[in-house]
Chain A
Amino acid sequence: MEKAPPNYPSAVNLISISDLCLSHSLCVSGLAAAFWAARSIYYIDLISDPFRTLRHFFVIQAPIVILVFSRFRRDPEQCSYLKAMIRGVLGTFAGALVNALVAIALGAPVGLNYLPKTVYWSLLISSLTFVPAACVFGASWKDWRRLFAHTKPVDLVDYMICVPAHGAIVGSWFGAWPMPLDWERPWQEWPICVSYGTMVGYVAGMLLSFGLTVVKSEKQHLKKD
C-alpha cells in the first residue's frame, strides 16, 4: 500500500483476513439463503412472483449487509455501532430512490402495476450498493466520490464496498439487454432479468473483491515483514 492515506484510523487497517473472509461469505450466503428459502419454503421465484420474491430477497439481505458493514465504520470513536446501523437504514431508502430514478431514466416502465416491483428491486440493489457505503462512510462526500465517481478503492474495506457495488450496477445494466428481444419469454419482463443481472453481478463482484483482498493482504504482510 504505497498510497495509504495517513488520516485513516489505524484500527481500520487492522481488520484481519478471517474477518473479511467471514463478511464476504455472510453477504453471499445471505443471497443464497434467500434464494433457497424462496424456492423451498415459499415456492416462489422471480418469474412466477417477482414482487414477493424481491421483497423476500430484500428482507433477508438488507439486515445482513447492515449488520456486517456497520462493524467496519470508518469513525468508530464518534459513531457507535447502532448509529452506523441507523445510517445504513436511512441509506437504504435514499439509495432506493436514486436507483429507482436511474432505472426509470434508463427506460424502466412507470405504470402503477410496475411500481411495487420497481420499489423492491431498487430497495434490493440499494442494499447491495448504497447501504455498505452508508454504514461505513456516513455522509462523507469525499469517500463517496472516491469510490463511486473515481472508482479508486484504497484499502481492503474499500474493495469490499466498491467492487461488489460496481458488479451489481454493471450486472443490472447488462441484465436489461435481453428485454427488447422478441423471444417472448416470461423472464424478459421488467425487473426479472435485471434482478438476475444485479445478483449475478453482485456475487461476481464479491468473489472478485475477495480475491483482491487476499492478494492485497498478502502484499501487506510481505511489507510488514
Chain B
Amino acid sequence: MSSSLSCARLTAVTVAAVVIQITGLALFVFGFFPVKPTLSGVSGVESFHPPWDAADDGFISPSFSADELKSLYQDLSDVPAQFDRLILMVIDGLPAEFVLGKNGQPPPQEFVEAMPYTQSLMWTGEAIGYHAVASPPTVTMPRLKALVSGAIGGFLDVAFNFNTQAFLDDNILGQLLRVGFKMLMFGDETWLKLFPESFARCDGVSSFYVKDTVQVDLNVSRHLDEELYKEDWDAMILHYLGLDHIGHIGGRNSDLMIPKLREMDQIIKTIHLSTQEFEVNDHKRTLMLVVSDHGMTYSGNHGGSSFEETDTLALFVGPKSSGTRYGSATSSINQVDIPPTLALLFGVPIPKNNVGIVIADVLKSLSGGQQLRALELNSWQLLRLLQAQLPGLSCGNSLCVEYSDYQATQTGKSSVDADAVFCSSYCKAHLLHRSWKSKKVTWSATSEDFTVTQLAYYEFIRTASDWLSHKASDKCAVCLTFGVAAMLVSCLIVFHLLFKLCRHITFGATRCQGEKIHWHLDDYFSLAVILALVASMGSSSMVEEEQYIWHFFTSSMSLVLLRSAAQQLPANTFTEHSSIIFRQFSSIILLLVFGRILRGWHQGGVNWTYLPDISKWLEQAGDSYIHNIQLASGFLAISLSISALFLLRKRRKFVLLIGLIYIASALLVMSHLIEHTANKLAATGYGATLMAQIIYTIISISTAGIVLLVPWLMPIQISGSYSTASNSKLHEKPPKCSLLGLRDSIYITGWAYISFWCLLQLVLQQAINSFPMLLVFMQILASLLYYSTSKSRHKPWVEIATLYYLGMTGHFSLGNSNTLATIDVAGAFIGISEHSTLLSGTLMFMITYASPFTVLFSLVMYISVKNGSLDLDGAQSASNENVLMEMLCFPCLVPLGLNSVVLTAYTIVLLAMRNHLFIWSVFSPKYLYVCATTICIYLGIFIVAATTVYIYSVINFRTKKLSRSQ
C-alpha cells in the first residue's frame, strides 16, 4: 500500500489536480462571463460613410460647435430629422400585455378601460405600439443602458462598474447632447447616476422605498405643468417607479394596479395634448415615446428571462401610421431596436455598439430613398461592429462587384462561415440598392424593386444583429461543460488522494494497526459542516447571511471537540493526565468565547446590518476608545507572540535573537499606531506613508530572513538531556536530532509567519478591526495548544478542517460579507504614494483575506506541534521521504479538498441559478469571492509546502554533511 503512495507521485498528482482545477475555473469564468468586445469612442461623421472608407477617419474634429455638427449631420445623412423634441416616458415594470394584449388579442377589458386615452391613440393611428423584448438581467440599470445604447452588456460589466456608475459608452443621449439638445430628467435617480451633469434640470426620486407607490410618482408629475409649456428644452425624460413598486408589493393583480394605470393614462393624455398645442404654435414636432424597462412576473418580481419579465412596451406617439389597431403589436421588436430608430428619427449617428434594428414602421413617413438610406446607415454601423469581432471581415465595394460574378457561379451553398454569410447578404442588398438608385424614374416606396431591396437589407441586418446579440449573451456551452467537468475531476482526485492517505497513515502508524478505522462524532461533524455549507449556498438569503452559518457550525464543532475532551476526563481521581485535559477544556472554552465576541463585533450580511453590534457601539462611544483598544490589542498580540516563541525552551540564545528582531519591528508598528492613527488627518500625510513603507520593508525582510536562515543556523546537534533521555542506539542519533532540529525550525518559521502577518494586519486593518484580528490570532493559538496536547485523538484531517473553518469564520467576523460593498478600499492605499492598481489590489486582497491567510500560515506551526512527538516515536521505520510526506500531505490537501468542494459546488449552483432573480446581485458577487478564496488557498498551501520542503532539505543536507564529517 505504501508503495502506491510515494512522495513524488503524491506531489505530481496534487499539482495535476490543481492545474486541472485552474483550467476548469478559467474555462468556466470565460464561458459564463463572456467579455464582449465593445468599441470605444462615439459615432461621429464617419458613420455616414461606408466602413471601408477610411479616408474620412481623420476628418472628425472636436472643434465643431453643436449647431455646426447638427447641420453637418443633416447634410451627410440624407435622412432628415423627423422630430425636434423628444419626451421619453419610462414606466418602470409595465408589461406590454397591459396595453397591447397578448397573441394578437386585445388586453383584458379592465386594462382597456383603465387607459382609454392611450387606446384611442392607437385606434386613430397616432401611436404605434410594440412588444419590445428585453434581454436578461431584467433589472432597471442594465435595461436603461440597453435602451440608450442599443448594446447588451455582460455580468463583469455590471460587477466591475458597481462604483463608477457613469455610463461612458456611446449612447443616444450623448449623441443628442452633442448636437445641442437641452435635456430634463424627472424620476428614478438611476438616470442621474448614469448620466451625471447631462441634464439641465432634474429631480431624482429614489427607488429605495418600495412601499411608496404614490408619492414617488407625484414627485415626477408635479413638474409637468410647468415644464411642458416651457420652450427651452429639447428632450425630457420621465421615469415613473410607482407601477414597479405596486408589482413588488402585490403582484400583477394588485388592487392598486388599475388606479396606477389610470394615472399613467392621464399623464400620457396631458403630455400628448400639450405637444399638439406646441406643434400648432411653434411648428416643432415632438416625439413622445412611452417605454417600460422590464416587465414583471405574476407575483410582481423581475430579473429573470421569462416572457412576463422580458415583455416590455414601446409606444411611439407622433409618427403617423396607417396600421390598424394592434396590427403591429403582433410583430414584436427587441428593446435594443429603439436607440437606432431614435437616432435616425433625430438625425444623429447610431450609437457605436448598437445591435438593434431600425424599426421600419416608424420610418414610414420618409420617402423610399430615405428609408433605404436609413437601412444602409444601420447596416454600416453593424458592419463596423462585426469587423471588431471578425477582424477578417471586409466587404468593400470591390468585393461586392466580384460578388455578382461569384453568385452567378456558385448558387446557394449554405455551409459557409459567418464572414461569407454576412458579406454575401450585405452585398446583395448593396447591389440591389445601387441598381434601384440608378433607375431614378421609379423613386417610390411602393415599387417592387423597393420592397426587394428593403427585404435584402433587413435580411442582412437581422442576421448580423442576431449573431451579435447572441455573441454577447450566449454562454459558451462547451466551455461551461468542460470547466465544470474539470473542476469535478480535480475535486475527485483530491478526495481520492485524501482517502488513500487516511488509510495509509492510519494503518501505517503503530497506534491502530490492523484495526478498522473507527469514525467518531467529530469526523462526521466536520464532513457535515462542509455539506451543510454547500447545501445552504443554493438559497440567496443564506448566501447573503453566510456568516451565521460559519459561526454556528464552527461553534458547534468546538462543542463537539469539548465533548470528546470530556470523554477523556477521568472519573474520580485527579492525576497528571487530568491537568492536560483541563488545559484542553480551557482552550476550547477560549475558542468558544472568542468566537462569540467575534460574531458580536460586526453585524455582517445584508438583512440585519442595522442591528446593534460592538463595532457600532464603539464608534458611538468615540474614536479615543477605538484607538485605545487598537493599542491594547496590538500590545496583547505582540506579547502573545513572544510568549508563544519562548514556549520553545530548548534553544534559549537562538530564540532570544529572533525575539529581538520581532520586538524591533513590533515597536515600529506600535509607534506607527500611536502616532498616525490617533487623528485622521495624520493618517494620510507623507510621514504616515513613509512609515508604512518602512514597516512593509522591515516586515518582509525580517520574515524572509528568518525563513531562509533559520534552518541553516538552527543547531542540529544537541548535547545533553535529549539524547541521553532517549534510550536509542548510537547510529540512530543523527536522524533523530535532525528531526528535532527540523521540528524546531518549522516551529520558528511558522511562528514568524503568523506573528509578522499579525503585525502587518495591525497596520493595514481599520482601527476597529484590530481587536477581532487579535481574537482570530488567539483562537488559532488556542486551537494549536489544544492539538498539541490532544495527541492522536482526532484524525489529522479533522483538526485541519476545524482550523480552516475557524479561518472562514474569522473572515466574516472581520466585517467581510458576500457583497462587494464591504471590501475595505481605504486600507488599500496605506503606504502607497502613487496610484498603482497592482499594489492596491494586493493590499486589498491581503486585508480581505487576513483571517484565512493567518490560518494557512498557522499550518506551518501545526506541522511542527503535531508531528514532533510522532516522528520521534516512529522514526525507526520511517524513511526520510515518508517523514516529509506525513508532515505535508494533510495540511496541504485538506484545505485544497475543502475549497475544491466549495468551488465545484458553487460553480454548479451558479450554473443552475443563471436565470434566478438575484443572479447578478447575490450569486455572481459570491462567485467572485469564491474564486478569490481559491487563489488565497493556492497561495497559502504553496507557501506552506515550499517552506516545509525548503527547511527539510536544508536540515537533511546539513545532517548528511555532519555524519560524513564525523
A107 with B552: in contact, given A180-B541, A180-B542, A180-B545 (CB under 8 Å)? Answer: yes
Question: Which residue of chain B lies nearest to A150 when distances are taken between CB atoms in the complex?
Answer: B567
**Quick check: is B907 within 8 A (CB to CB) of the other chain?**
no
The B532-554 residues at the A interface (CB cut-off 8 A) are 539, 541-542, 544-545, 548-549, 551-552
SS of B interface (majority) = helix
**Quick check: is A181 within 8 A (CB to CB) of the other chain?**
yes
Which of B57-65, B555-563, B660-668 lines the interface with chain A?
B555-563
Q: How far is the CA of A15 from the CA of B571 in the complex (A)?
A: 27
CB distance from A144 to the nearest CB of B (A): 9
Find out whether the CB atom of B566 lies under 8 angstroms from the CB atom of A182.
no
A141 with B551: in contact, given A104-B596, A181-B539, A182-B544 (CB under 8 Å)? Answer: no
A105 with B571: in contact, given A149-B566, A176-B552, A180-B549 (CB under 8 Å)? Answer: no
**Quick check: is A173 within 8 A (CB to CB) of the other chain?**
yes
A182 with B572: in contact, given A105-B593, A105-B596, A176-B552 (CB under 8 Å)? Answer: no
Question: Which residue of chain B lies nearest to A177 when distances are taken between CB atoms in the complex?
Answer: B552
> Which residues of A sit under 8 angstroms from B96, Cβ to Cβ?
none
**Quick check: is B88 within 8 A (CB to CB) of the other chain?**
no
> Which residues of A sit under 8 angstroms from B558, Cβ to Cβ?
105
> Which residues of B sit under 8 angstroms from A182, Cβ to Cβ?
541, 544-545, 607
- Counting residue pairs across A and B whose Cβ atoms lie within 8 Å, the total is 56
The B455-474 residues at the A interface (CB cut-off 8 A) are none
Contact with A along B588-606 (1 / 0, CB 8 A): 0000110110011000010
A107 with B567: in contact, given A102-B559, A181-B539 (CB under 8 Å)? Answer: no
Q: How far is the CA of A102 from the CA of B605 in the complex (A)?
A: 23
Contact with B along A130-151 (1 / 0, CB 8 A): 0000000000011001001110
Question: Which residue of chain A lies nearest to B541 when distances are taken between CB atoms in the complex?
Answer: A182
Q: How far is the CA of A110 from the CA of B596 in the complex (A)?
A: 10
Q: How far is the CA of A183 from the CA of B607 in the complex (A)?
A: 11
Choice from B571, B593, B596, B612 contacting A107 with Cβ under 8 Å = B596
> Which residues of A sit under 8 angstroms from B541, Cβ to Cβ?
180-183
**Quick check: is B569 within 8 A (CB to CB) of the other chain?**
yes
The B108-164 residues at the A interface (CB cut-off 8 A) are none
Question: Which residue of chain A lies nearest to B569 when distances are taken between CB atoms in the complex?
Answer: A145
Contact with B along A99-130 (1 / 0, CB 8 A): 00010111100110000000000000000000
CB distance from B597 to the nearest CB of A (A): 10
Interface size for chain B: under 10, 10 to 19, 20 to 34, or 35 or more residues? 20 to 34
CB distance from A68 to the nearest CB of B (A): 27
**Quick check: is A179 within 8 A (CB to CB) of the other chain?**
yes
Find out whether the CB atom of A105 lies under 8 angstroms from the CB atom of B555.
yes
Find out whether the CB atom of B548 lies under 8 angstroms from the CB atom of A180.
yes
A105 with B545: in contact, given A145-B567, A145-B571, A150-B567 (CB under 8 Å)? Answer: no
Question: Which residue of chain A lies nearest to B564 when distances are taken between CB atoms in the complex?
Answer: A149
Q: How far is the CA of A180 from the CA of B547 in the complex (A)?
A: 10
Question: Which residue of chain B lies nearest to A102 when distances are taken between CB atoms in the complex?
Answer: B559
Q: How far is the CA of A182 from the CA of B922 in the complex (A)?
A: 14
> Which residues of B sit under 8 angstroms from A110, Cβ to Cβ?
600
Question: Which residue of chain B lies nearest to A143 when distances are taken between CB atoms in the complex?
Answer: B571
Q: How far is the CA of A19 from the CA of B747 in the complex (A)?
A: 61
Q: How far is the CA of A30 from the CA of B55 in the complex (A)?
A: 94
Q: How far is the CA of A114 from the CA of B571 in the complex (A)?
A: 37
Q: How far is the CA of A110 from the CA of B544 in the complex (A)?
A: 23
CB distance from B200 to the nearest CB of A (A): 42
> Which residues of A sit under 8 angstroms from B607, Cβ to Cβ?
182
> Which residues of B sit under 8 angstroms from A111, Cβ to Cβ?
612
> Which residues of B sit under 8 angstroms from A176, Cβ to Cβ?
552
CB distance from B917 to the nearest CB of A (A): 13
CB distance from A60 to the nearest CB of B (A): 29
CB distance from B712 to the nearest CB of A (A): 45
Contact with B along A74-117 (1 / 0, CB 8 A): 00000000000000000000000000001011110011000000
> Which residues of A sit under 8 angstroms from B572, Cβ to Cβ?
141-142
Find out whether the CB atom of A181 lies under 8 angstroms from the CB atom of B567.
no
Find out whether the CB atom of B566 lies under 8 angstroms from the CB atom of A107.
no
Q: How far is the CA of A110 from the CA of B603 in the complex (A)?
A: 13
Q: How far is the CA of A104 from the CA of B542 in the complex (A)?
A: 21
Find out whether the CB atom of B551 lies under 8 angstroms from the CB atom of A107.
yes
Q: How far is the CA of A148 from the CA of B599 in the complex (A)?
A: 28
Question: Which residue of chain A lies nearest to B567 when distances are taken between CB atoms in the complex?
Answer: A149
> Which residues of A sit under 8 angstroms from B563, Cβ to Cβ?
148-149
The A23-60 residues at the B interface (CB cut-off 8 A) are none
CB distance from B877 to the nearest CB of A (A): 33
Find out whether the CB atom of A105 lies under 8 angstroms from the CB atom of B592.
yes
Question: Which residue of chain B lies nearest to A183 when distances are taken between CB atoms in the complex?
Answer: B541
> Which residues of B sit under 8 angstroms from A107, Cβ to Cβ?
548, 551-552, 555, 596, 599
The A178-200 residues at the B interface (CB cut-off 8 A) are 179-183
> Which residues of A sit under 8 angstroms from B566, Cβ to Cβ?
145, 148-149
Q: How far is the CA of A105 from the CA of B594 in the complex (A)?
A: 9
CB distance from A166 to the nearest CB of B (A): 11
Question: Which residue of chain A lies nearest to B607 when distances are taken between CB atoms in the complex?
Answer: A182
Q: How far is the CA of A8 from the CA of B235 in the complex (A)?
A: 94
The B590-645 residues at the A interface (CB cut-off 8 A) are 592-593, 595-596, 599-600, 605, 607, 612
> Which residues of A sit under 8 angstroms from B596, Cβ to Cβ?
104-105, 107
Question: Which residue of chain B lies nearest to A173 when distances are taken between CB atoms in the complex?
Answer: B556
> Which residues of A sit under 8 angstroms from B548, Cβ to Cβ?
107, 179-180
The A156-212 residues at the B interface (CB cut-off 8 A) are 173, 176, 179-183
> Which residues of B sit under 8 angstroms from A148, Cβ to Cβ?
563, 566
> Which residues of B sit under 8 angstroms from A102, Cβ to Cβ?
559
CB distance from A98 to the nearest CB of B (A): 11
Q: Which A residues lie at the B interface, using CB under 8 A?
A: 102, 104-107, 110-111, 141-142, 145, 148-150, 173, 176, 179-183
Closest 5 CB pairs of A and B: A180-B548, A182-B541, A149-B566, A180-B545, A105-B592
Other A-B contacts than A105-B559, A142-B572, A150-B567, 10 sampled, CB-CB below 8 A, are A105-B595, A106-B552, A107-B552, A107-B596, A141-B571, A145-B567, A149-B566, A180-B549, A181-B545, A182-B545
Residue pairs across A and B with Cβ atoms less than 8 A apart, 16 shown, are A102-B559, A105-B559, A105-B593, A105-B595, A106-B556, A107-B551, A107-B555, A142-B571, A145-B567, A145-B569, A149-B567, A180-B548, A181-B539, A181-B542, A182-B541, A182-B545
Q: Which B residues lie at the A interface, using CB under 8 A?
A: 539, 541-542, 544-545, 548-549, 551-552, 555-556, 558-559, 563-564, 566-567, 569, 571-572, 592-593, 595-596, 599-600, 605, 607, 612
